[in-house]
Amino acid sequence: MLRVAHPWYAWDYREAIHQRDSYLELLERTRKGLEGLQQLGRDYSLRYVLETHSGAVAASAYSIYLLMRDLDPATVGAIYDPANMVLEGFVRPSGAVELFGPYLAYLHAKNLEICRKESADASARPEWAFQRRTLQSGMVDYEEIAYALKLARFDGWISFEEPTTKDPNEAILEFRADIEHLKQCFDKAPDKPQEPFLTFND
């Protein structure tokens, strides 16, 4: 797969100053754009993919479903980033993978944790920030991700990104540990519906 570039259709408070269109207008524009790319994708064997990303028009599996429904999955697809969807657009993995359907192109594997920022002012509005975590220690349960992918018989690519360290040698060790963790998750995850993945985490 050749990943070139993509337009950044954003809708958040930082971008709202520059983006006068509503979220619904951006959805419609993005949908028309994907429709217009269909023939070009067929002519040149290209697949255009949108990533589930906070602050973007395709932040959730629901928006991917709306944007791509009835289009040719050979020409358009989605990058499933479950860590991004913790921040915005969360859907339980099995539901998300069902919504992606044939448009699921590949998985971005990373993890994070949401932490409250310290403030000396007890009356101040709470502020939150996310911190990178290893695949084993963050909020995303990759055994549940593996379960959802196995149910869908997904056999596409998994792409690791954004390690917790900037040191290249440490990043290599982290990615090796991440790969081993993912293997264990796929070994442990059932390939048919069963607990603990049938009920919500109440």
**CATH at 179:** 3.20.20.150
Q: Specify if 150 maps to a domain.
A: yes
pLDDT-derived band at 120, boundaries 50, 70, 90: confident
81-99 residue pLDDT tens:
999 999 999 999 999 999 9
In DSSP terms, which residues pair with 131 in a beta bridge? 113
Pairwise CA distance, residues 48 & 6, whole Å: 9
pLDDT-derived band at 52, boundaries 50, 70, 90: very high
| pLDDT at 8 (0 to 100) | 44
Q: Domain limits at 136?
A: 23-118+127-188
Q: Specify if 198 maps to a domain.
A: no
pLDDT-derived band at 73, boundaries 50, 70, 90: very high
Q: Specify if 12 maps to a domain.
A: no
Q: What's the chain's average pLDDT? A: 88
Checking if the pLDDT of 17 tops 80, the result is: no
Q: Specify if 39 maps to a domain.
A: yes
| pLDDT at 200 (0 to 100) | 61
| pLDDT at 19 (0 to 100) | 61
What is the average per-residue pLDDT within 45-73? 94
| Tally of domains within the chain | 1
Checking if the pLDDT of 31 tops 90, the result is: yes
